[in-house]
């Protein structure tokens, strides 16, 4: 069931997926090649098991809704005798019991509870997951939906995605066909990254776009066999037969030492979509602590990556996610100062804005909402999912710009601290909050990107004051990360890794190696470019003006 259109960014890939899906649907066997639809249906139904009570359904709907029957006939349900009568069986008192044609009685809405009759383990895993909580908690409590937007709009907006956690009258929770399409329930469709992308896209959680940008998405979409293999049978202990992971590979599918799961939180050590980055414990994920969840996710990563890379990548990603907290905390501080000074007005929104963003009628409030709901999510998720552009230009750049916009508003409305900040010429004024950092880079030792040596000094803040500034920078970063670890937000292994990197920071930053001569060549070229820009870029004056010119006093 298609719940949201995939963004334009995904358009070309989506068309490729559509073509492949059609090929898999109609071309997975020789059945139907060159035949009429009736012949195709006859061949498909020949391999299906249909009970006597369901035969009338198949006969009638084969004429009225043939593609529905065709979808079912290609399913594993059809080969195992799970037919219309099984899923649409109605009991006395059922809320959806309806008299159908020819005196038959059916249940019009098979629920997650109906699926649970056969798929008990999957239902139990799903029911404790964050997907299950999406309707029960996040949709009902959403203050943008409850305050800012008309409900009729959100029924076909936020609710279409959050309804994966649909709460049914039979007390069951879940919308299984959000991922497994109705009647075929095809696992290949459920594993298709663009199925996840029906909901996980857009300005607030662009996961499908981040995946596409990442090396993971690049490798996967480059090879046709990956699409063809999405319907594979998961076997515990066997890595998936794919060249690169999809969403389910990391979050749900079996690994070499983990079984498959429908609890998408069991491998998530961070809650990184909410206003604050927090460690997940028993809210979802089966009640296991975040360290075990991180080990679970590492199990997926270690099928392709070496342990040192995985450990360091998670350390850097976690620190980026917690760095967001410091930025949001600073934004909240300015909002509180404006509230106290009477610049913004909050009365009337108490209880409707649980995260301290009160209303949408004033610029700073709207910007603060975007800090966590849009830019802050993109920054955190980009950092954790290898999406460089979403970490940088759609992430931290926009976060910094938002923070400046809040302060500028405060200055324009007379807040003395904001006026002083705007007037300051200190180049460090944009770092208004405590910071974290890890020496060097997960991608390997780079001799120039972080270097602070006699023969080369970057313009990063850490290096602006030479060696003295470098030492002060790393002492501050170390103290902040140590405090984070002391609060239980880093594992013991992560803190040990950080200390090793800190003690070896001269090596990690490339300072212990000489620069290659090629750097000199490029520096000379840059100097030549600068001279050319001054000479005939900014410096060139032509004798004739344009069609209009301005003279002072006119």
Tell me: the pLDDT tens digits for 354-411? Answer: 556 666 788 998 899 899 999 999 999 999 999 999 999 999 999 999 999 999 999 9
* Distance, CA of 217 to CA of 10 (rounded, Å): 11
Which stretch of DSSP H or E encloses residue 98?
strand 97-99
Is residue 273 a part of any domain in this protein?
Answer: no
132 shares a domain with 8: yes
158 shares a domain with 19: yes
Is residue 274 a part of any domain in this protein?
Answer: no
Count structural domains, the chain: 4
Is residue 253 a part of any domain in this protein?
Answer: no
E strands present in 232-324: 270-271, 278-279
406 shares a domain with 357: yes
CB 82 within 8 A of CB 118: yes
The conformation of residue 276, written as its DSSP 8-state character, comes to: S
Is residue 50 a part of any domain in this protein?
Answer: yes
Which tens digit of pLDDT belongs to each residue from 83-133?
Answer: 999 999 998 999 999 998 878 899 999 999 999 999 999 999 999 898 988
Range of the domain at 23: 1-30+112-208
Is residue 42 a part of any domain in this protein?
Answer: yes
62 shares a domain with 140: no
Structure tokens at 226: 């990956």
Is residue 294 a part of any domain in this protein?
Answer: yes
Any residues with CB less than 8 A from the CB of 366 and at least 6 apart, and which?
360
Q: Which of 121-135, 145-159, 322-336, 423-437 has the lowest mean pLDDT?
A: 145-159
Query: Helix/strand/coil (H, E, C) string of 25-41?
Result: HHHCCCCCCCCCHHHHH
97 shares a domain with 134: no
Any residues with CB less than 8 A from the CB of 497 and at least 6 apart, and which?
311, 312, 315
23 shares a domain with 159: yes
Q: CA dihedral in degrees (21, 24, 25, 28; nearest 10)?
A: 180
**492-503 vs 466-486: helix crossing angle, rounded to 10:** 170
Q: What is the CATH number of the domain that holds 380?
A: 1.20.850.10
Which tens digit of pLDDT belongs to each residue from 482-539?
Answer: 999 999 999 999 999 999 999 999 999 999 999 999 999 999 999 999 999 999 999 9
Is residue 548 a part of any domain in this protein?
Answer: no
294 shares a domain with 168: no
88 shares a domain with 126: no
Is residue 491 a part of any domain in this protein?
Answer: no
Percent of the chain with pLDDT over 70: 91
* Distance, CA of 551 to CA of 548 (rounded, Å): 10
* Distance, CA of 148 to CA of 284 (rounded, Å): 29
The conformation of residue 234, written as its DSSP 8-state character, comes to: P
457 shares a domain with 320: no
Choose between 480 and 5: higher pLDDT.
480
CB 135 within 8 A of CB 168: no
527 shares a domain with 470: yes
Q: CA dihedral in degrees (75, 80, 83, 85; nearest 10)?
A: -160
Given 208, 232, 252, which residue is the final one in a domain?
A: 208
Given 391, 412, 433, which residue is the final one in a domain?
A: 433
Given 77, 92, 110, which residue is the final one in a domain?
A: 110
192 shares a domain with 118: yes
317 shares a domain with 296: yes
């Amino acid at each position: 069931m298609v719940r949201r259109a995939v963004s334009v960014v995904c358009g070309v890939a989506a068309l490729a997926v559509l073509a492949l899906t059609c090929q898999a649907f109609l071309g997975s066997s020789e059945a139907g090649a060159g035949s009429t639809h009736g012949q195709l249906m006859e061949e498909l139904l020949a391999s299906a098991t249909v009970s006597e009570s369901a035969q009338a359904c198949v006969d009638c709907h084969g004429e009225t809704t043939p593609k529905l029957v065709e979808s079912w006939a290609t399913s594993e349900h059809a080969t195992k005798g799970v037919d219309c009568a099984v899923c649409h069986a109605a009991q006395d008192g059922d809320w959806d019991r309806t008299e159908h044609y020819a005196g038959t009685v059916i249940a019009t809405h098979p629920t997650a509870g109906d699926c649970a009759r056969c798929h008990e383990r999957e239902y139990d895993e799903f029911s404790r997951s964050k997907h299950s909580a999406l309707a029960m908690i996040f949709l009902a409590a959403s203050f943008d939906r409850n305050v800012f937007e008309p409900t009729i709009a959100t029924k076909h907006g936020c609710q279409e995605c959050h309804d994966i956690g649909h709460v049914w009258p039979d007390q069951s929770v879940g919308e299984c066909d959000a991922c497994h399409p109705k009647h075929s329930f095809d696992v290949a469709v459920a594993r298709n990254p663009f199925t996840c992308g029906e909901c996980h896209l857009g300005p607030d959680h662009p996961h499908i776009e981040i995946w596409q940008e990442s090396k993971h998405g690049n490798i996967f979409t480059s090879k046709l066999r990956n699409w063809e293999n999405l319907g594979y049978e998961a076997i515990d202990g066997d890595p998936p037969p794919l060249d690169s992971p999809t969403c389910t590979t990391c979050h749900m599918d079996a690994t070499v030492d983990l079984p498959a799961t429908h609890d998408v939180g069991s491998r998530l050590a961070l809650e990184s979509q909410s206003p604050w980055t927090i460690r997940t414990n028993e809210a979802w994920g089966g009640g296991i602590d975040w360290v075990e969840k991180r080990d679970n996710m590492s199990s997926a990563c270690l099928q392709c990556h070496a342990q040192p890379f995985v450990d360091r990548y998670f350390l850097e990603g976690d620190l980026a996610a917690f760095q967001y907290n410091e930025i949001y905390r600073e934004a909240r501080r300015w909002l509180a100062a404006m509230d106290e000074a009477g610049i913004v007005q909050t009365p009337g929104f108490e209880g409707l804005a649980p995260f301290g963003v009160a209303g949408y009628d004033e610029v700073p409030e709207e910007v603060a909402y975007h800090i966590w709901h849009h830019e802050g999510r993109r920054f955190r998720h980009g950092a954790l999912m290898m999406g460089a552009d979403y970490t940088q230009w759609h992430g931290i750049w926009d976060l910094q710009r938002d923070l400046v916009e809040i302060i500028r508003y405060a200055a324009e409305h007379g807040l003395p601290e904001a006026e002083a900040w705007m007037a300051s010429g200190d180049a460090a004024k944009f770092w208004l909050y405590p910071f974290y950092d890890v020496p060097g880079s997960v991608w390997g030792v780079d001799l120039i990107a972080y270097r602070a040596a006699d023969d080369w000094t970057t313009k990063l803040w850490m290096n602006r004051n030479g060696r003295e500034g470098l030492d002060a920078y790393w002492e501050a970063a170390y103290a902040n990360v140590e405090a984070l670890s002391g609060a239980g937000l880093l594992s013991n292994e992560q803190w040990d890794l950080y200390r090793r990197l800190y003690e070896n920071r001269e090596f990690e930053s490339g300072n212990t190696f000489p620069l290659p001569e090629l750097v000199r060549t490029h520096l000379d070229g840059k100097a030549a470019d600068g001279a050319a820009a001054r000479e005939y870029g900014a410096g060139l004056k032509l004798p004739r003006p344009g069609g209009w010119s301005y003279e002072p006093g006119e």
